[in-house]
Amino acid sequence: MSVLVKICGLKTPESVEAALAGGADMVGFVFFDKSPRYIDLAVARKLSAQVGGQAEKVALVVDADDARIAAIIDALAPDWLQLHGNEPPERVASLRAFGRPILKAIGVSEKADLSRAVAYEGVVDRLLFDAKPPKGAVLPGGNGLTFDWTLIHDYAAGGAKKEWMLSGGLSTENIGEAILLTGAPGVDVSSGVETAPGEKSVEKILAFIAAARQPTSLGLAGGSV
């Protein structure tokens, strides 16, 4: 089974084109102004038109209010809302009124963090397990950090009740191991395809997608996870 691939934090026509040319399933755009990957609404409109229907568009927000989300939806016309802040389940449930599927990020550093996922299973369409940022970090994600992937393996083996994806420090060099250990049905990358924070590499985007999709590179030739 092919792994779902999301390339996040795109800012330029060149990076969007690379993600589309490589066959990414989802392309993510960041609307958190403290991030080096932030784009404004005018840029969002242009990149949205470029994507068209070639991939699903994801709007990443961090504890945004309704007015901000409405403006983002108007500009980007996203297929998904990605919530990467401290949004409680009640807030997530209220955002379903916008009529977009919701992807909720859960920061993970220890097994206890996975218990948070249970509270969201009834109000989201998909979960995103990301490395929990260190104390004092400005960014809730995109920090290039990994976490103990065996924690996710245990979660999935226990009968995950919701679709999910893996994120956090993924790159062309480790994506095979990550998928092999977790059985992740989908993966999300941002800093792992950059040359500097917020600066995407066309070559790295293409290489990451190819590595995630190539069974032999995962040691899974002839099979699936």
Give catalytic status of residue 25 as yes or no.
no
84 CB-near residues (< 8 Å, 6+ apart): 32, 60, 61, 62, 105, 130, 140, 141
**CA dist 128 to 81, 82, 84, Å?**
12, 9, 9
Segments of 9-146 assigned E as strands: 26-30, 56-61, 80-83, 102-108, 126-131
Asked if 170 and 159 count as a contact pair (C-beta separation under 8 A), the reply is no
Catalytic residue among 66, 79, 125, 130: 130
Q: Active-site residue 130, yes or no?
A: yes
Which of 8, 40, 113, 148 is catalytic? The answer is: 8
Q: Catalogue the active-site residues.
A: 8, 130
